[in-house]
Amino acid sequence: MQQHYAKQEGESITWDAESVAWLEGLAAASGFDAAGVAALADDAAEQQQAERYTAWVEAGRAGEMEYLKRRDEQGVLIRSAVRRAFPWARSVVVCARNYNAGGPHSIQPAPHGTGWIARYAWSGRQQSDGSLGPTDYHEELLGAMASVQSALQQRFGAAMRCYVDTGPLVERAMAVKAGLGWTGKNTCLLHPKLGSWLLLAVLVTDIPMPVEVAPLPDRCGSCTRCLDACPTGALVAPREMDASRCIAYLTIEKKGSIAEELRAGMGRQVFGCDICQEVCPWNRKAPVVQRQGSYARPELVNPALEWLAGMDAPAFRRWFRGSPLERTRRSRLLRNVAIAMGNSGLPQYTAQLQAWAAGQDPVLAEAAAWALARLPATATP
């Protein structure tokens, strides 16, 4: 049984080898596959990271994601450095969970007329009747992180904040500083044993980390498969992504119409994109996990476009409430489905696209008209 203690007034408590090892065991018992601690030092490396992030935003690479562009009273981007938002912070605990539930890849042959939903969004939790109900990794990871946070507070009596994709910090940069991997050329965190199918949760703490973790070496070598495979040219250079061109951004974050020059590259993707991870050699032997809350819902693997198109509002809520797809909303999902139908070249979608093209939603109508023009000439209105 672990002995916990609270920090006494005036007592100096820091991360040491023993406490980091204890954290790793605690994280594993809480359902994580890797954990580490990133030191915050206000050093040249952090300044360089802040400058890179600022340049990325100012180049327009964040698209319409306004939350990435928020600035403090001094006009500095809040996410450029952890201590911009948390002046009291001294370290960041990073926990990673593998979400590779197995199943096919989007780049493999698939039945005609199917779309693609990103692997992380397949997740389900087994219910009492044996069916799989939708889950959202935000809630799943926050639940697992609650036990980590509770134990840390008992051991250290520390101030801390917990986040899963919602805090004003760049989680992947912290994961690299914590020794959990290196930044791949596709901008994903690459762990030498787990690959990149990873979800991250972080705890910002006031516990000092006297010695920084030695960074893992970059082992991407001369490989450029991710850059070569990106259909929309979002990976403009190694470790440099133009998010405004990324299929994940276009299908999830982008509101309104999608630029026509990017639509053909979207292929059959209707929610997110896995291509740059699927082609990565480090994922060839990525472990497959089967755990509660992360089971693959079979209906979401290569889903039929016709099935998605036929969902009314109640059906959409029934299938996707409490899942990542709820975030994109039904109107945006249908826009994506219309583009996928156009890219399929299958005339069987003509009637559905014609109905959408004559409908009241201007964004969906425009996407449907574009899709109709891509179908065989005999299928056009």
CB atoms within 10 A of CB 340: 25
Pull the structure tokens for residue 332. 């945006």
Residue ranges of E strands in the chain = 34-39, 91-98, 116-117, 123-126, 132-134, 160-163, 182-183, 189-190, 198-205, 235-237, 240-241, 269-271, 295-296
- Model confidence over 310-360: pLDDT tens digits? 999 999 999 999 999 998 999 999 999 999 999 999 999 999 999 999 999
Please tell me whether residues 200 and 312 are part of one structural domain.
no
In-domain check, residue 231: no
Say if residue 185 is in the same domain as residue 322. Answer: no
Q: Say if 36 falls within a structural domain.
A: yes
Mean pLDDT, the chain, rounded, equals 93
127-151 pLDDT per residue, tens: 888 889 999 999 999 999 999 999 9
Catalytic residues: 165
Are both 41 and 177 inside the same structural domain? yes
Give residue 5's pLDDT band: very low, low, confident or very high (50, 70, 90): very low
Residue 351 lies in a domain: yes
Q: Are residues 29 and 172 in the same domain?
A: yes
Residue 261 maps to a domain: no
Q: CA separation (Å) from 90 to 13, 20, 87, 210, 344? A: 12, 15, 8, 10, 51
Average pLDDT over residues 170-181: 96
Residue length, the chain?
381
The values of phi and psi at residue 33, to 5°, are -100, -10
Checking if the pLDDT of 4 tops 50, the result is no
Domain assignment present for residue 162? The answer is yes
Q: Which residue stretches of 206-357 are H helix?
A: 225-229, 247-248, 260-263, 275-278, 305-309, 313-320, 329-344, 350-357
Contact 280, 105 (CB under 8 A): no
Cβ neighbors of 244 (< 8 A, separation 6 or more) are 60, 61, 62, 63, 64
Q: Which is nearest to 251 in space by CA: 334, 187, 343?
A: 334
- Last residue in a domain, options 205, 235, 253: 205
Under the banding of pLDDT at 50, 70 and 90, the label for residue 12 is low
Determine, yes or no, domain membership for 323: yes
Quote the DSSP letter at residue 54.
Answer: H
Answer with the one of 146, 176, 205 that is the final residue of a domain.
205
76-116 pLDDT, tens digit each? 999 999 999 999 999 999 999 999 999 999 999 999 999 99
Instruction: Give dist(CA 286, CA 295) in Å, integer.
Output: 16
Q: Are residues 177 and 317 in the same domain?
A: no
Enter the pTM of the model.
0.93
Dist CA 234 CA 245 (whole Å): 5
> Side chain identity at 222, as an amino acid letter?
S
Pair (197, 312) in one structural domain: no
Total of domains in the chain: 2
Task: Decide if pLDDT at 201 tops 50.
Answer: yes
Q: What is the pLDDT of residues 208-245, one digit of tens each?
A: 998 889 999 999 999 999 999 999 999 999 999 999 99
Looking at the domain assignment, is residue 319 inside a domain?
A: yes
- Which residue shows structure tokens 């809480």? 30
Give the per-residue pLDDT at 11: 45
pLDDT higher than threshold 90 for residue 13: no
Same domain, 54 and 175: yes
Question: For position 123, what pLDDT does the model report?
Answer: 94
Cα–chain center distance at 235? 16
Residues 328, 186: one domain?
Answer: no
Residue 284 lies in a domain: no
The answer to whether residues 197 and 334 belong to one domain is: no
pLDDT at res. 10: 40
Q: Which of 31, 97, 117 is nearest to 298 (CA)?
A: 117
- Which residues constitute the domain of residue 344? 306-381
Among 185, 205, 225, the domain-final residue is 205
**26-60 confidence digits (pLDDT tens):** 999 999 999 999 999 877 778 888 999 999 999 99
